[in-house]
Structure 1
Amino acid sequence: MRVQCTSEMYNRLRKAIETKELQPADRVGLVMDSYALVKAGKMKPEDMMKLLASYSKEDDTIVWQGLTDALGGLEVILSDDDVMYPSFLAFAQKLVLPLVDLVGWTPSADDKHLTGLLRGNMVALLKTFCYKDEAVASEADKRCKAFLADPSDVQSVPTDIKTPVFKIYLKNGGEKEYNEIKAYYATAKDNAERKHVLNSLGATPDDKLKLATMEWTTSGAIKLQDFFYAMGSVGRSSKRGREISWQFFQDNFDRLKTMLGASSPSLMNAVVVMCAGGFCSIEKADEIDAFFKANPLPNNSRRIAQMTENMRANGKFLAMLQASDLAKAEFWTTLL
């Protein structure tokens, strides 16, 4: 059950959030409810963003999990809009960066279990919203270089933050950094470590390297049960990454079918979703449906239908946000 409030009620609740008069369970509930209500068209997007701005001093791990889900959901949608997206990123950065001073990058002996969880959550958020920040980029660079020089140094890049730290390093780097992370795949001692590489490589901002990732992961160099992870790292990396992965899938459709052969349909499901599932456009959903009508995958038709249905829902959500004050640059100046 969701709780819907009036705009005036939300204004009063904002003060209670800022002062933490509301308990964590209530604060996280408001985040989750507001996001769901906006997506359902039952709440003004402007009210949701003003509410989220009230969490600028939030320090509770559970509340931050709710904020992460909401910010992540909005990032996926708004990344399809070249006007709103930069403003949203700037807003999210202001919300997230204070966490660095709160929990830091390095675990301490006094950490409680939830503190460690919040730190892992923080680095994942930094990877998405704050990777351009000079201090964040410098810290990730220092840690990555120390780890790559000595992979036994688990203090520099602990397992729970390895993928986001790799991504920050890649996002601020070029071919040199890309090759360094890729080379770690060959020397990693176990499959879990290799997956950190596969899940990271697509974060490179270089289109040629994104395409190279797609080609490498389908070359036979990667185990069949793992190769789609690198495809997803491209497809979920950015608006441009979505286009690259989807075009690659279309251009290599027959080869991918041959690769997967008689393997479980779940593998092709994963490939389709990783390559085509990141769009937020009704038009793109129609394009994808048309492709699979001409190139049917009977064993995967249900998953494809679910994917394009979600894509259309996200397209409608984006249109709703575009029709709100979020499309006006001046609105964002009123937040934080």
Structure 2
Amino acid sequence: TGFPVVTLSRTPDGALSLAQTRFFSDPSVVDPDDSRWDLPLTAQVGHGSGGGGGPELHRVGIWTASDLPARDAAFEVHAPTSVGSKFPADSPWIKLNGLQQGFYIDNYDADGWLRLQSPCQQLVLSEVDRMCLLDNAFVLTRAGKLDLANALEFSRALANDPSYLIWKSLSTHLTFYGSLIHQTPTFPKFQAYVRRFYGPQLARLGWFTQDTDQESTAYFRSEVIRMLGTAKDPAVLADAVIHFQTLVTTPEASRVTSDLRAVIFRVVATHLQGQVYDQLRTLYESSDLAELKNDCLGGMGAVQTKWNDTLEWALSGKVRSQDIQYAFAGVVRSGIEGADFTWAFIQANWDRLNDKYIPNKVGSLVCLAIGRFQTEDKAVEVEAFLGDKKTTAYKRRLDTTLEGIRIKAACFRRDATHLDQWLTAQTL
């Protein structure tokens, strides 16, 4: 919030135009100031047939906006035609902010986003530029400045991208929208899309370490399995159960690395529920390895019938103070139902938690629980409960979390139907 968005568009006659405006994560906020910036304009420009040749870096110079006319009704400041004309309009594609040298978000009209798919698919643009484009697309969508369909279509161009960072970012953004629709009839469509989208990556990476693995491959593999587990991929669920039993009973015989342990515990506990709870709790209590204990907590929190038992057991002293958030996070990650339960538990045990933990720790538990909410009613409920409580130690974090709830509420109202329509179209 507070920095500029620069949008590159093509006019009906094919000329290029630029406009800048102030970015707000909450689209309902109106800029109270006449914000405008002097911006260094650079661009990666495609050339050759289809734009598949190596990009050329164009340094346009400084766009001085301070002496331009007042903003239009959309609070945008438009560059004079002399600025837009410095970009090659006949180029098959243009990526603003080449090499990410300027502190601004680059945006495009629908045609511009479409044109940028090809250099991303062909890996013509660098990993950094591809990742920034992906992040920009979804950040702008959440702020109401880009249609969700445009962001999703652009993300499909990265379906074969070899970069872990790209897929980590993809997972973050898709998980955000999956969480929004988790309790709607659209969610099974979302799961089906994730299975199709991530399946080829698991086929390439496999479950086990390979000679071709790079430093980030273990994280890449874990992320892909996590997403497919959330999407209830049948093969992933079946394999995860087998690996789970080996990890719990004869860990020395397991071929999967410890990087996959947390995701396996979580996927299997979500799938089998109470059938594995006692195994996870016993493993926690018998182990001295902190990382393994935290992995167990993540799995235990997935078992809905044991939520209260898990939190009470954790508060009894079985879980160290510095690790208590893992027990709460395990429940919250189960969706809105888990967040509702955790928030109710925190309210009912408010004095107990504040007596046991320092204010910052209590604040982290509060924000962890309410951060999953996505309605105005829930934001109001939280504010009402905390109105007379001492929250000074974590006020800024709390304010940010409440703002996030309201942003998600706006996203759901604006995009839930569009997401359903887009997902439906993918199956036709």
Please say whether Structure 1 and Structure 2 have the same fold, judged by a TM-score greater than 0.5. Answer: yes
> 1:166 matched to which residue of 2?
265
Contact 1:202 1:234 in 2 (8 A): yes
Q: Aligned-residue CA RMSD in angstroms?
A: 2.2
Q: CA deviation at 1:203?
A: 1.8
Query: Structure 2: which 5+ runs fail to align?
Result: 1-103
Contact 1:146 1:156 in 2 (8 A): no
2:212 and 2:158 map into 1 onto residues whose CA distance is: 25
Residue 102 of structure 1: which of 204, 210, 214 is its match? 204
1:300 and 1:36 map into 2 onto residues whose CA distance is: 25
- Does residue 237 of structure 2 align to residue 119 of structure 1? no
Residue 299 of structure 2: which of 200, 213, 219 is its match? 200
1:333 and 1:59 map into 2 onto residues whose CA distance is: 27
From the two aligned structures, give the one with the greater helix fraction: 1
Residue 86 of structure 1: which of 153, 169, 188 is its match? 188
> Which runs of structure 1 show a deviation greater than 6 angstroms over 4 or more consecutive aligned residues?
none
From the two aligned structures, give the one with the greater strand fraction: 2
- Does residue 418 of structure 2 align to residue 325 of structure 1? yes
Bigger mean CA deviation after superposition, 212-221 or 241-250: 212-221
SS of residue paired to 1:55: coil
> 1:3 matched to which residue of 2?
106
- Letter paired with 2:248: L
1:302 and 1:42 map into 2 onto residues whose CA distance is: 26
- Pairing of 1:177-188 with structure 2 (within 5 A): 177-188=276-287
Contact 1:217 1:228 in 2 (8 A): no
- Does residue 405 of structure 2 align to residue 311 of structure 1? yes
- Letter paired with 1:146: T
Residue 288 of structure 2: which of 189, 207, 211 is its match? 189
CA 1:305–1:245: 2 relative to 1, 3 Å: same
CA 1:17–1:179: 2 relative to 1, 3 Å: same
- Pairing of 1:122-271 with structure 2 (within 5 A): 122-129=224-231, 132-153=232-253, 155-204=254-303, 207-260=304-357, 264-271=358-365
2:257 and 2:328 map into 1 onto residues whose CA distance is: 24
Q: CA deviation at 1:255?
A: 2.1
- Letter paired with 1:112: Q
- Letter paired with 1:147: L
Q: Which has the higher contact order (CA 8 A, sep 6+)?
A: 1
Deviations 1:151-178 (A, max 9, x none): 334x434221211110111111031211
Q: CA deviation at 1:268?
A: 0.9
- Letter paired with 2:233: D
- Letter paired with 2:419: L
1:36 and 1:304 map into 2 onto residues whose CA distance is: 21
Contact 1:124 1:161 in 2 (8 A): no
1:326 and 1:121 map into 2 onto residues whose CA distance is: 23
Q: CA deviation at 1:227?
A: 1.9
Q: CA deviation at 1:21?
A: 4.6
Instruction: Count residues in correspondence.
Output: 324
Q: CA deviation at 1:20?
A: 4.1
CA 1:83–1:201: 2 relative to 1, 3 Å: same
Contact 2:209 2:257 in 1 (8 A): no
Contact 1:214 1:231 in 2 (8 A): yes
> 1:281 matched to which residue of 2?
375
Query: Structure 1: which 5+ runs fail to align?
Result: none
Residue 163 of structure 2: which of 60, 66, 69 is its match? 60
Task: Work out the percentage of aligned pairs sharing the same amino acid.
Answer: 23
> 2:83 matched to which residue of 1?
none
- Does residue 366 of structure 2 align to residue 272 of structure 1? yes
Contact 2:360 2:393 in 1 (8 A): no
Bigger mean CA deviation after superposition, 175-184 or 311-320: 311-320
Q: Which has the larger radius of gyration?
A: 2
- Letter paired with 1:326: L
